Structures are given as C-alpha cells and as structure tokens.
C-alpha cells in the first residue's frame, strides 16, 4: 500500500523528533555539564547547555526566544500543510518537514526541560526531582552534544569546527541547505499568488 505524502511527512517529523529527544534525554541523564566522550579523534559527545538559538548563539531574551520558536513552528506547520494541499513535490515537502521537526525539537527543551530535570552542574541531572526542576516553564535550556573538532593547531587548540549542536540543529541546517541548493524555485512558487482569471460578463 502506497504511503501518502502527508503520512511520509508525519513519519519523518516523528523520527527526527524521537532521535533528537532520545539523544538529549540520554545525555542529560548520563552526563554532567562539560562531560565528554571521544568517539573518534574528530568527533565527541560533549554535553553543554545554551539558552540561545542554533549552535549556541545568544543575542535576545530567553522568554522572547522561546515564544519566537513556538510562533515559527506554527507558521512552518501551516506552510507545510498548504504545500501538501497544493501538491508540491515530495522532495520539497519532506525538506520542509525536516525543517519543522528541527524547529520543534529545541522547543521541548526550552519549554519543558527546566521543569522536568534538575540542573547538571557538577552532577548528572535527575528526571522529575522532588525539589522541582532547575527553571520555570519556558525557561529551560537547550541540550547540545555533537562536537566535531575537525582541525586543530600545533598546540592542540581547535580552530575548526567549534560549535557544539544537536540533532534538531542538524535537521534545520540540512533543510536550509537543501532548499537553497535544490528548491529555490519551489520556495518562490509557494509564495506566488495565482492571478485572478478575468471572466467576461455574459451577454
């Protein structure tokens, strides 16, 4: 039985969110802040938290950022729904689905993690601690853990790639690059308004 594009989109969103949240919860409940494990000499699981946007950027208030994220996810959701309704290409719809999943992934951290977990300073966090979480609702921090120190200088200092990020950040970045390189035409078409047809009055 052939799967509809709507179901494919929903499945992709679910899988990305599941992998994103599973990896974050595992790191949060097994690592103290700053702990890291070398997987390869060019890849580490390195636990940090941030209050900002993708790749740890911080330049606006935490509460504003959280509500901005929620608004962005709502807008992307309705945009995705319109693409499915208008029967855009499968590739473009799945790319926007990937973007939506990435944007939604970090919202869970921002909204709920402060309430659900204790802090990770010098210790592994506890899920649903009796004394309450480390921050109020909407003030949670985003869990990052993927670190690729690809190039180091002679002193062993990383000169590329310094940002530490998560699966949701990766999904957003991949989706944006796919749109820019392969789907700019579809992006433009999706915002074009079809001209109204002139109907000649009946004689």
pTM across the whole model: 0.86
144 among known catalytic residues: yes
Question: What count of other Cβ atoms lies within 10 Å of the Cβ of residue 53?
Answer: 17
Which of 20, 38, 109, 169 is flagged as catalytic? 169
Residue 168 reports pLDDT greater than 50: yes
What confidence tier does 159 reach under pLDDT thresholds 50, 70, 90? Answer: confident
- Section 133-155 average pLDDT: 91
- Three-state SS sequence of the chain: CCCCHHHHHHHHHHHHHHHHHHHHHHHHHHCCCCCEEEEECCEEEEEEEECCCHHHCCCCCHHHHHHHHHHHHHHHHHHHHHHHHCCCCHHHHHHHHHHHHHHHHHHHHHHHHHHHECCCCCCCCCECCCCCCCCCCCCCCEEEEEECCCEECCCCCEEECCCEECHHHHHHHHHHHHHHHHCHHHHHHHCCCCCCCCCCCCC
Q: Are 168 and 175 in contact (CB under 8 A)?
A: no
Among candidates 45, 46, 56, which has minimal Cα distance to 141? 56
Q: Are 109 and 62 in contact (CB under 8 A)?
A: no
Which one is predicted more confidently, 174 or 202? 174
Residue 197 reports pLDDT greater than 80: no
In this predicted model, what pLDDT tens digit does every residue of 107-121 receive, in sequence order? 999 999 999 999 999
Residue 139 reports pLDDT greater than 70: yes
Give the whole-angstrom CA distance, residue 148 versus residue 133: 30
In this predicted model, what pLDDT tens digit does every residue of 89-98 receive, in sequence order? 999 999 999 9
In this predicted model, what pLDDT tens digit does every residue of 37-58 receive, in sequence order? 999 989 999 999 987 554 445 5
Residue 59 reports pLDDT greater than 60: no
What confidence tier does 195 reach under pLDDT thresholds 50, 70, 90? Answer: very low
User: What is the percentage of the chain residues whose pLDDT exceeds 90?
Assistant: 73
- Section 162-171 average pLDDT: 94
Instruction: Show me where the domains of the chain are located.
Output: 5-48+60-190
What is residue 53's predicted lDDT score, i.e. its pLDDT?
52
Lowest model confidence (mean pLDDT) among 26-30, 34-38, 57-61, 79-83 = 57-61
What confidence tier does 188 reach under pLDDT thresholds 50, 70, 90? Answer: very high
**CB hemisphere CA count around 142 (13 angstroms):** 28
In this predicted model, what pLDDT tens digit does every residue of 146-157 receive, in sequence order? 999 999 887 778
Q: Is 173 exposed, middle or buried (0-12, 13-18, 19+ CB in 10 A)?
A: middle
Residue 100 reports pLDDT greater than 90: yes
Q: Work out the angle at residue 19's Cα, subtended by the Cα atoms of residues 79 and 14, and round it to the nearest 5 degrees.
A: 40
């Amino acid at each position: 039985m052939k799967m509809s594009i709507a179901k494919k989109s929903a499945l992709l969103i679910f899988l990305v969110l599941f992998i994103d949240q599973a990896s974050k919860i595992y790191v949060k409940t097994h690592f103290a802040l700053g702990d890291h494990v070398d997987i390869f000499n060019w890849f580490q699981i390195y636990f940090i938290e941030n209050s900002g946007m993708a790749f740890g950027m911080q330049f606006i208030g935490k509460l504003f950022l959280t509500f901005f994220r929620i608004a962005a996810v709502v807008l992307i959701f309705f945009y995705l729904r319109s693409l499915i309704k208008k029967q855009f290409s499968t590739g473009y719809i799945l790319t926007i689905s990937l973007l939506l999943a990435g944007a939604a992934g970090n919202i869970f951290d921002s909204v709920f993690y402060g309430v659900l977990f204790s802090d990770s300073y010098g210790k592994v966090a506890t899920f649903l601690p009796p004394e309450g979480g480390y921050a109020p609702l909407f003030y949670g921090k985003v869990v990052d853990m993927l670190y690729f120190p690809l190039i180091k200088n002679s002193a062993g200092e990383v000169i590329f790639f310094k940002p530490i990020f998560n699966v949701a950040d990766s999904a957003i970045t991949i989706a944006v690059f796919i749109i820019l390189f392969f789907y700019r035409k579809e992006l433009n078409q999706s915002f074009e308004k079809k001209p109204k047809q002139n109907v000649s009055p009946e004689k």
